[in-house]
Amino acid sequence: MRILLLASGSGSLARAICEAKIPGVEIAGLISDKPCLALELADEFGFSYQVVPMQSDREEWNHQMLKSAAGIRPDLVVSVGFMRILAADFLKQFRVINTHPALLPSFPGAHAVRDALAANVSRTGTTVHWVDEGVDTGPIIAQREIAVEQGDDESSLHERIKIVERELIVEILTRFAQDGIPEIR
């Protein structure tokens, strides 16, 4: 199973996938929308990367993303901290999964951890889901809960979520490699 990673940040989720060395999974490349730490993984683990910077012309950016991904020929695209909405044309051509630091459908969007704390919930967690044209609205593949601890702030809670998020994405990719990529439900 050839996977394409999409990342915009530190690359901790991408690193977890790389280090897991999942049997049957080939990391075919990484695309980012900006220079970031995740790009260093390509050199370290021996795969290619591309930076497709966001442009003022969104249609041109969408076209460049589609062209770049098509050149990699992935079986699955894995969004691991990629902070951009993918175009409908991209989603028609590729099956895409995403990790999210909340128990969807609660707290979609870029500030999920902050939103969970503001809502004073006792439990939150992480979700792996199919990407659709909405913001964190695609069908859920799997979730893992954690307790919100007294004294948690956004940083401490997010760090604990990232631990289970990394475990969960590796589990999902391992299952997909063993059983095949399921159809989107």
The catalytic site residues sit at 100
Q: Render the burial of 21-57: b for 16+ CB within 10 Å, e for the rest.
A: ebeebebbbbbbbeebebbebbeeeebebbebeeeee
**Which backbone phi and psi does 7 adopt, to 5 degrees?**
-145, 150
Under DSSP, is residue 53 helix (H, G, I), strand (E, B) or coil? coil
Report the C-alpha dihedral over residues 152, 155, 157, 162, rounded to 10 degrees. -160
Coil, helix or strand for 51?
Answer: strand
Question: What angle (nearest 5°) sits at the alpha carbon of residue 37, between those of residues 161 and 78?
Answer: 60
